[in-house]
Chain A
């Protein structure tokens, strides 16, 4: 009897778990387009600001001659992929009331991306690297201000 009761309990728990899973999946499948949550938006902006500052640092390091060719190119590629990933996530509808900031962030993100695309051709051009570094740092500062957090 004890074993039978245990089996019934196990089946009941299994059925409830399956039902809960189905309900959760149904809810997810039927979800309408929703705006990004403000904290998610802020995280993406902080990420982009960090990438911009990192791009500036990469340009400065190249200018100082402290990087090897492969290290610089590989790091540059990973950074560019990261910026592209973040921009893709920013394709989602912005939080309500943050449409203006969203447009500004996207524009700055595109500026960071363009700067990174221009980097390989300027790797041996100190003046060009200095200009790139200044531009990326400025974009990073503006993004940080838009994120409004440390």
Chain B
């Protein structure tokens, strides 16, 4: 296995686990419930590993990425509804990322918010337009790894490790913590943010972009396990760092600057700069991932040619779509909407689309006629159904919990 081979998994995972909304949401989870939600991170990470591996395997064996399966299994009418909903979620997510990039650039270099947004979005469009697919995932995957500083910060801030270990077992919130409605909202929000549908749209298309064949199935396995497990470790570190920096101190972190502070508390300005750099590339990677995932979905749904490395003339719909998503996201962000409010809506509404993304993958991956010896074994198929049931429960409860908990504010 070449070390560069695992960057598709790392970029997919970082784009999902530590994008702008997830960064703030995760730190908030630690600030409100200390280590109580760590079990959700483990459950979400295990779930995305199972489904990312499945989507990559199907893409490699059948040469069919995730959205082609959605169209085939859901039919053209329901498929179109899923496509529109999923593009809406991707646009919301991308808007939030573009706003987030501007805030990080301000935290690093100062300057005016809208100007920084233009600069950040311009650089992002240039990178997506000019770089080859494998260099895109290497750059964002590698530089996003600066976020590992949170893992060191979590250790350096000296948590009570036995309390951390207890967080991996589900428990009710203790007295002094927000109530069950807020707890439920954070469970559903964390779980679904780790399973955001654009991750598998991007990952399965990326497997085809990387020209994987059945001989690369071990690479698919290591990408999904190592990449998404790394995303899970970073998320655990963020929860612990958030708990150490803010739990019991009366602070409800809801600003990007607040997210960077635990790294500064642990390692001073060097920690702060490393955290900001990691956040910049993770958020920019998430923006690129959502825009490209949107382009894959549209082109695959309408049977148009697609591919990051294909010339624009050969795949005009694909190239026009990712550019349109980035431009639309920039235009919406320029109106001054708050990036973090936008992303909270996107995460919760994405949950409703989740079953329509994961159900077709599970059905096809378990189909022996189509997949032959590469079909799911009984254990993975059972795990897939269990996860899909959890996703369905999350999908049904997401919007009511958002209303009852006032978006987690209690």
Give residues in A with beta carbon < 8 Å to B: 39, 43, 46-47, 49-50, 53-54, 57, 61, 65-71, 73-75, 78-79, 82, 140-141, 144, 149-150
Contacts and interface: CB of A to CB of B under 8 A. Distances in A.
B272 A66 contact: yes
Interface stretch (B76-84, B260-268, B352-360, B391-399): B260-268
**Chain B interface mostly helix, strand, loop or mixed?**
helix
A141 B406 CA distance: 23
Contact of B276 (A47, A69, A71): A71
Contacts of A79: 255, 257
B110 A144 contact: no
16 contacts: A46-B409, A53-B251, A57-B251, A57-B261, A61-B261, A66-B268, A68-B269, A68-B273, A69-B110, A71-B108, A71-B272, A74-B103, A78-B103, A79-B255, A82-B255, A149-B410
A74 B107 contact: yes
Given A61-B265, A66-B268, A140 B258 contact: no
Given A43-B410, A50-B251, A53-B250, A70 B108 contact: yes
Contacts of B110: 69-70, 73-74
A75 B264 CA distance: 13
A74 B106 contact: yes
Contacts of B271: 66
A144 to B, nearest CB: 5
B252 interface: yes
A75 B250 contact: no
Q: Across chains A and B, which 10 residue pairs bring their CB atoms closest together, nearest first?
A: A75-B257, A70-B110, A50-B252, A53-B250, A74-B106, A66-B264, A66-B268, A71-B107, A74-B107, A53-B251
| Interface range for B | 20 to 34
A57 B246 CA distance: 10
A70 B51 CA distance: 41
B265 to A, nearest CB: 7
B108 A65 contact: no
B373 interface: no
B257 A74 contact: yes
Contacts of A149: 410
Contacts of B276: 71
A150 B252 CA distance: 11
A140 B249 CA distance: 10
B107 A54 contact: no
B258 A71 contact: no
B32 to A, nearest CB: 9
B177 interface: yes
A78 B107 CA distance: 11
B176 A43 contact: no
A49 B250 CA distance: 7
**Residue of B250, B251, B255 contacting most chain A CB atoms (<10 Å):** B250
Nearest to B108: A70
Contacts of B379: none
Contacts of A75: 107, 255, 257-258
A39 B410 CA distance: 8
Interface in B211-232: none
